[in-house]
Structure formats: structure tokens, C-alpha cells
Amino acid sequence: MLEWLTMIKLKDLLMEGTYAPSDQAGATWIDNKWYPAHTKSVLERVRYSEYIPLTPSAVEKALGKKIPIRSFHITGPDGIKTMKNVIGKKKSISTFTRTHEDESLAKGRGVQTGMGGIICYVEGNLLGGKYLDFDTVLDKQGRRWVKTFHVFDKDPMIWKNALKRAKLDFYSIDDEMRKIDRHYHDLWMNKGPDDEGRIEYDEYKELTKKDQGPVIAKYVKDYIDLANKTLIKHKKLFKKSLINNDKNKKTAWWNELLVYDTKIIDIFVINRVLDKKSRHYNWQTKEELEKLLSQASGNKPITIGSPAQFRKWFKQRKGQIDKG
């Protein structure tokens, strides 16, 4: 028997796909549901040990305070609901204040949302930032994961040594995972059809995943707890890397600022978003926008116009567009 055809692998627990429906460009498939672009499962983040989560509680303990900030976030018609779900919450969003004139952001288009066209001017608290996009990712619980390279001032050994001291190694739970798998695999494969203990293939998969779940959950909890403790312990390096850095210097791309406790000040909508002749037009967009606008605090909550008018609006709010 080709055992590799029947054994359930850890990767089966990731449940990630690579193609999104046309109205959710860039979305990610996790556990039978579409999530915003760049969303990853927690399991994928911890298994390779390259990322740690930046949580508001750990960052506030490291900094001893909150750092207020105003910045911009671009989304599209399909991202309005997601935006509503992060307002006033600890879930962070990726924002910017500076971009190059050749980049899509300078034209009101998104990095991951493609069409974009809905630019939110927001205020909140800084979770971390750099003068360039530093490839942060979300998990489906809304935690923001960052490569340790960026967190600890390019020192790869800080996190590696922390994991080693804590004896945290994802492959250390392999034996337990394999024992669980083998137990149910044998019930499925090695007994005759008349045996009372025999289970079907679907049940084998379900029971294996159910019993492996607590093992994975404990490892994830220990990993996140260690990440928070390590961040606080090395707070000086964290501040140097992602707080007191050159996040506002000139860039050939755009800067990335992670913001939580987000509140909307006002919104600019590129006119193509509401153009009924556009192939991207969605009759629900106006209704969803009105719900989002009800939470804006500015005197003029919405401005509609061309990309050129957006750039003027952007600069009026201290956004910077670099040339050359």
C-alpha cells in the first residue's frame, strides 16, 4: 500500500487555495471560507518559525504607551465589509502615508485589492511601521504576523535562541501527531468490513483532525506567549526596528504603517467605483459605503472625484507622493 496516499499530512489542516472568485481578487481560501488577501492560517505561520505576531497588548507593554497616528488605507468595493469589522477594534490594518508617483497607491488603486478606489483617511494607534512594505500577513483571527528579521533589528538569532531555550520546535510534535493519525488510519485500513471498530475514510479524517487539534492549539499558544515575552524583553530593538525608525523617508514604493483601534476620519472615492457603466460596478457598493460613512468623524465624510483630485486630497492630509 502506498502509505503516503492515505496518511493525513499536516498540510491538509491548512486548507488553503490559490484561486479566488472574480469578485474577491487576491482573497485566500482557509477552512472553507474566503479571507482578505495576504491572510494566512496560524498553523502556516508557526510551523516555519519565521514570523511572530504583533499584538496591541504586547506592543503597548513594550512601549509603555500608545502612539497615535493618522494615515491612509485603500480598499475596494469588496473590502468595505472587512473595513467595517476592524473599526475601533484591536485588529490592525496596513496603511501608508507616502508612496511613489509610479505606484498604484498614487492612483488610488490597492496593492492587494486590485481595483481599489476607496481611500480611507484614518486615525488610530501605531503597531509598527517601516519606510517600505515589509510583507506583513494576517491570520483569520485578525492577528498581524511579521518576520522576526524586521522585529529584532535584523538579528535572526534572537528568535532562534528563544525557541531553542523554550524547546519549541514544530517538528517536536510530529511523533504525537503521527500516533494520532496512525491510530485512526489503522481503524480505517486494517480491519475487515465486519469488524465493529472499523471506520470510514471521512470519519478517519475527521477524528484525526479533531484529536490533533488540541496538540496544535497548545503549540500555537506556547509560540505566541513566547513571542510576546521575547518582544517585551527586546523592546529596545523592537523600537529601533519598527517604531523609532526612518518609516517616513523617501521611497521608491510605499511605506507601511500598521494601525489598530482604527477610526475613519473621511473617505475619498474614485468616480469609477460608482460608475454604473463600469464592469466593476456593484449596486451594493453605495449602500455599503453609506454604512461605512456613518462612522466617519470628519466634517466632510466623503469626496468623489478623479485620480488627480484624489492626489490633491491626499496631499492636503499630509500624504506624500515622491518623484524620481
Coil, helix or strand for 245? coil
Terminal Cα distance for the chain, rounded: 62
Residue with cell 509560540: 223
Rounded CA-CA distance 177/250 in Å is: 49
User: Per-residue pLDDT tens for 301-324?
Assistant: 999 999 999 999 999 999 999 987
CB 260 within 8 A of CB 87: no
Question: Model confidence over 272-287: pLDDT tens digits?
Answer: 888 877 766 676 788 8
Task: Summarize pLDDT for 18-30 with one digit per residue, the tens.
Answer: 223 333 334 443 3
Q: Where are the domains of the chain?
A: 12-157+242-322
Q: How far apart are CA 312 and CA 310, in angstroms?
A: 5
Of the ranges 85-89, 234-238, 295-299, which is most confident?
234-238
